[in-house]
Each structure stands twice: as C-alpha cells, then as structure tokens.
Amino acid sequence: MMSSQSSDEQPCRPPRNFSLMTFDDDDDDEYYNYLNYLSVKSTKSKRVQSGTPNTRNVKSHYWKIDSSNKDLDQPSSRPIFNTSFTIQDNNLAVGSNSDFENLRIYKLDSSNNYLTHQSSISLPDIHSLRWLYNVTENPSDMQDFKFLLSGHTQGVVNLTMVPTDQHSVRNAEIIKRFNHAKHITSDSTNMKMTIGDKCTNTIYKLDVTPRSWKSCNMNSLLSIYRENIFFWDTSRSNLPILKNKVNGITSFDASRYQDSLLALSGEFANKQQW
C-alpha cells in the first residue's frame, strides 16, 4: 500500500454555502413538520395513483457472494463475512473482512441475469465502499478502469484505480490515501472509542457528493471519523476542505435537491450548535 506524504496542516475552511441539518429526540415537532412539508411538496409536484400497485411485472434475482477465500491453505479462525458493497452502472464491488482477496469486482448483465466475477483485490479491513462517478459523459471513454473509495480502520480512506477490462489494465493501484487521523487532535474530545457497537476510528460511512452539487468539485468525499464529519476534494488535495465536530454522529445523507445540505443521524444527547 502507498504511504501518505507528510505536509503542514492548513486551516479547514468550509464552502461559503455549506450547511448541516440534524434532528434529535427533542426536535420531534420540527422533524415531523419537515416530513409533512416534503410530503405536501411531493404530492403537489407528482400525482400519485391510488389503489393497489401492480406488482405482477416485478422480478427479483439473487446471487450468492462468497466472502471466504477457498484457495488459502489455512482457514481463518474468525467468522468471514461481507461488510460492504457498491454498484454503479453494471459494476459491483463487494468487500469482506477476509485477510486476502477481500475486495471482489463483478460485472452485472441485467438483461441476461448474469453476475460475472472480474477480479479479486487484497485491501486490509474494508468497512465501506463507494464508486466515483464517471468524469466524462461518454461511458466508453472510461471502460478500462474505474475509481473506488474504500474506508478502513485507523481513519484511512483509499482511492483505488480498479480495472474493469482485464485486457488493458491488469492490476489495481492505490493512487491516493486520505488520512483522517492526521487531522485529529489528541485531546479528550476526540477520544470516545465507540458509539453503539461501532468503533469511532473506523470509516464505516463515506459517500461522494451528488452530481447536482455545484458548490464543489465532482466526486468530493464526505466521511465520518472520531465523531467528525470530513469534506475532501478527491481530485486535488490530501487536506480536508471541512472538518466539523459533531458529538454522537454515526451517519449522514447528502441531499440531491439542495446543494451543500446534509442530514445527520446518531446518538445526540442534547441540541448542538455548529
């Protein structure tokens, strides 16, 4: 794996119109008012047909994804299971907690219902995955490889170039590492080890900004580490654009309809101001 290069940390400056939205137990009225607002807005913009929906044409297909590595001489003493997956177009990536070949790339043929294994890659401790959007409108321009974000322990997110055509690019390559731990101070506010059953030093949640966002570069990275929400430009810098402390945060969701708006969830004891 590639090692990150050290550099002087610079102040994290958020975008001018970056905003956060959260609801806790004390905000029930505000939460339901917001849901009612969304409901009214959606019913005005789109007429919903009443009655029982027609599900006769709905079909499901299933494939068993084996998380174990049967080629190993020594079987693992701990349970091996899949931890994460991400799909974009017809490319599926599945991560597991296996020590070897724990990232598997598949090609989905939805017309013939085939799922074909393309390659296996070894990356330690995968806990989250997300494909980057294609930077070109023409998918054929990037048919040989794609870029994949993976979240790991110790605050590491890797950006990996993954081959999708075995005849052109033969090996996967880590091209950038985002080291969250480097940008966290060692004071007591960042020493909480777990929230629920999850360790705070592991990247369980990451995502890229929606295509509709215009306030940042395409494929900017959003992630959580040590109860801090991070915002990175994956194309230019190893320094976060934003780092915001949110006690108890465990997850988030980026709005596709309003630029720079996030909804947060977690174990929030009291109302917080950011």
Residue 51 lies in a domain: no
Three-point CA angle 181, 183, 186, nearest 5°? 70
Residue 21 lies in a domain: no
Q: According to the model, what pLDDT value does residue 268 have?
A: 85
Q: According to the model, what pLDDT value does residue 36 have?
A: 43
How many structural domains compose the chain? 1
Tokens 């309809």 found at: 257
Among 15, 29, 30, 63, CA closest to 214: 15
Residue 26 lies in a domain: no
Residue 55 lies in a domain: no
pLDDT tens, per residue, the chain with 274 residues:
443 344 444 444 444 444 555 444 444 454 444 444 444 444 444 444 445 666 677 778 888 887 665 555 555 667 888 999 999 988 999 999 988 899 999 999 988 888 999 889 999 889 999 999 987 766 556 567 899 999 999 999 999 999 877 666 578 899 999 999 999 987 767 777 888 778 899 999 999 999 999 999 999 999 999 999 999 999 887 899 999 999 999 999 999 999 999 999 998 876 555 5
Among 242, 264, 252, 228, CA closest to 128: 252
Q: What is the pTM of this model?
A: 0.75
Residue 114 lies in a domain: yes
Q: According to the model, what pLDDT value does residue 236 have?
A: 84
Residue 64 lies in a domain: no
Q: According to the model, what pLDDT value does residue 3 have?
A: 36
Q: 60 exposed, middle or buried (CB, 10 Å; 0-12, 13-18, 19+)?
A: exposed
Residue 110 lies in a domain: yes
Q: According to the model, what pLDDT value does residue 171 have?
A: 84
Q: According to the model, what pLDDT value does residue 46 have?
A: 46
- Angstrom distance (rounded) from CA 136 to CA 252: 27
Range of the domain at 166: 76-266
Residue 214 lies in a domain: yes
Q: According to the model, what pLDDT value does residue 52 have?
A: 62
Collapsed DSSP state (helix, strand, coil) of residue 42: helix
CATH number for 138? 2.130.10.10
